[in-house]
Amino acid sequence: MKKSGAEILMESLKAQGVDTIFGYPGGAALPIYDALYDTDINHYLTRHEQGAAHAADGYARASGKPGVCLATSGPGATNLVTGIANAYMDSIPMVAFTGQVATSLLGKDSFQEADITGITLPVTKHNYMVKDVNDLSKIVKEAFHIATTGRPGPVLVDIPKDVSSTVAAYEDPGPVLLPGYSPAFKPDPKQVSRAARAIVEAERPVIYAGGGVVSSGAHEELKELAETLLMPVATTLMGLGGFPGDHPLSVGMLGMHGSKYANYAISDCDLLVAVGVRFDDRVTGKLESFAPNAQVIHIDIDQAEIGKNVRVDFPVAGDVRLCLREIMKQLEPKVESAWNGTINKWKKEYPLGYVDNGRIKPQQVIQEICTATKGQARIATEVGQHQMWAAQYYTFNRPRSFISSGGLGTMGFGFPAAIGVQVACPEETVFDIAGDGSFQMNIQELATVVNYKLPVKVAILNNGYLGMVRQWQELFYNRRYSYTEMSNPEFSKVAEAYGAVGIKITTPSEVRPAIEHALSVDEPVVMDFITDPEENVLPMVPPGEAINKMLG
């Protein structure tokens, strides 16, 4: 049967099981939106294309399914770019569709023309411009295949207006044939045996677990490995929830704002078992002093990560889940480990903490949210101090419950991401832990949550500062607060103006009741917590220092 390119796109999306799209229309996307009108795909109109990209990203992080966003050409497409880059840095499966000017107008600086495949080349796993409607169904299939397999990532498909309008026959594209793309899944048995032997022989092993554990669904395998060998587990920001935060073997987060005991464990271990991680500088600090006495096992699906930043003694390339299963087969349970005694001693000696002073402490707000939600909420965050406090003080016990911009560190990510999370998990409680600065970067999405009755709870830790930057200025720039102080709007009134519930909280005793109230209403709520303005995130590894040299 003959269909327009746009209709073929809809068929192709349905064939991929897509039922949700976040997007924003415009001229070059008109044919696509016209075809969308007749489908039962749920389209969420965000109020900015950046919001659509982050919502698709949040949807993917929470559900494990690819997120889909759609925008028009030119400014619509360029507005997606931050969201695409964000998904790229955190390896999130996403497919972004953009309208484009007609092929006859390409390269002529036509109205709303932007070279979006050129612009997104370094921030996509792959991208396409569809020049012939007969290639469309094949390209869409490839795009989803590439986005979701191997190390996941965003793929962009740019569709000129004449391609989406031209009529052609829709055919099933058949199996994907990409000679240059063959993600490795099964690990090499020799690599597995060597890694297993190293684990058996280690006296002071530590697992360093990251986002790869979450994206490959290896949390059960990781737990089994840790419990069998009594190995302590430190997670990265992206790995939070990949191992239960309340597990006796958990040492929490490592790195710049990690716990002291996690960083001590890494600094003292004789074997580092790195699982689904990439040795980011925010984790390792001074590279030469990172796990200086350890041999390193690195398990990752992306060969290129192995050996990129550190020397690896035992590489294991493959899907993290399959690798862990294979390694487990060669291990015998351990019954006791003196090493754990040392770690438990550090845990007692150097707990996370803060000093009460009668003001609302941001850490307290996070703890109260954790108690009130029994640690069962999905927590999205923006970027800054509040993000680190959320990571430190909320206990994440299940994967895909912490939704945060790790690699790119994108202020404005959390709120639209929370929209995607709420759409993916309609029955669950979804929070955005926000800063007063970050929230204003995508505050317009209040209209979206009200429009679609998405009961996202926004908790602003309002310190009147671009707090994380202010903290660096305080510590490393002589307290010269250059353009980090802000006068803010009344967020509760802004929320009300949009049709959401707004609450302003100024004293510690109001914190818990406000959270309870927010949880009791089935509506979007903005809680504006006026917090101690110059509270710092501690502990902290000063930039360029070894991770066991922490302040605080």
Partner 1 sequence: MRHTLAVLVENNPGVLARVAGLFSRRGFNIDSLAVGRTDNPTVSRMTIVVEGDARVLEQVNKQLHKLVDVIKISDITADEFVDRELVLIKVSVDPSLRGEVMQIADVFRARIVDLGKKTLTLECTGNNGKVDAFEESLQPYGIKELVRTGKIAMQRGSRYTGFTERSQKMNGNQED
Ligand X SMILES: Cc1ncc(C[n+]2csc(CCOP(=O)(O)OP(=O)(O)O)c2C)c(N)n1
Residues with active-site annotation: 49, 111-112, 161, 468
Which one, 28 or 419, has the nearer CB to ligand X?
Answer: 419
Nearer to partner 1, 119 or 230 (CB): 119
Smaller CB distance to partner 1: residue 155 or 253? 155
Q: Give me the least distance between CB of 392 and Mg ion, in Å please.
A: 16
The Cα 331–Cα 373 span in angstroms is 38
Site string for ligand X, 419-458 (x = CB under 6 A): ----------------xxxx--------------------
Picked from Mg ion, ligand X, partner 1, none, the partner binding residue 204 (CB below 5 to 8 A depending on kind) is none
Summarize as ranges the residues that interact with Mg ion (CB under 5 A): 435-437, 463, 465, 467
Q: Is the peptide bond before 244 cis (omega within 30 degrees of 0)?
A: no
Does 27 help bind ligand X (rule: CB under 6 A)?
no
How far apart, in whole angstroms, are the C-alpha atoms of residue 386 and residue 69? 28
Coil, helix or strand for 385? helix
Angle between helices 362-372 and 385-393 (to 10 degrees): 40
Pick the closer one to partner 1 by CB: 117 or 235: 117
Task: Output DSSP code: residue 133.
Answer: G
CB of 128 to partner 1, least distance (A): 9
- 474 binding partner 1? (CB under 8 A): no
Type of residue at 362: P
Exposure class string for 300-324: b at 16+ Cβ within 10 A, else e? bbbeebbeebbebebbbbbbbbbbb
- For residues 146 and 550, which CB has a smaller minimum distance to partner 1 in the complex? 146
Amino acid (1-letter code) at residue 316: V
C-beta closer to ligand X: residue 346 or 529: 529
Nearest residue to Mg ion, scored by beta-carbon proximity: 435
- Output the CA–CA distances (angstroms, integers) from residue 315 to 268, 276, 300, 408, 504, in the order listed: 21, 12, 8, 26, 52
165 binds partner 1 (CB under 8 A): no
Shortest CB 348 distance to partner 1, Å: 41
Exactly one of 135, 188, 270, 302 binds partner 1 (CB under 8 A); which one? Answer: 302
User: Nearest distance from residue 142's CB to partner 1, in Å?
Assistant: 8
Q: Would you say 538 and 468 are in contact if contact means Cβ atoms under 8 Å apart?
A: no
Q: Is 33 one of the binding residues for ligand X (CB under 6 A)? A: no
Which DSSP string do the residues of 245-296 spell out, in sequence order?
TTSTTEEEE-STT--HHHHHHHHH-SEEEEES----HHHHSSGGGSSTT-EE
Q: Are 50 and 412 in contact (CB under 8 A)?
A: yes
Measured in residues, the chain has a length of 552
Q: For strand 457-462 and strand 233-235, is the pairing parallel, antiparallel, or unpaired?
A: unpaired
Helix axes 362-372, 508-520, angle to 10 degrees: 40
Does 189 engage in binding with partner 1 (CB under 8 A)?
no
- Segment 464 to 503, residues that bind ligand X, using CB under 6 A: 465-469
* 118 is a contact residue toward partner 1 (CB under 8 A): yes
410 binds ligand X (CB under 6 A): yes
Q: Choose, by CB under 6 A, the member of 419, 461, 500, 550 that binds ligand X.
A: 461
Note the residues at the interface with partner 1 (CB under 8 A): 117-118, 121-122, 125-126, 129, 146, 175, 177-182, 302-304, 307-308
Residues contributing to the site for ligand X (CB under 6 A): 382-386, 409-412, 435-438, 461, 463, 465-469
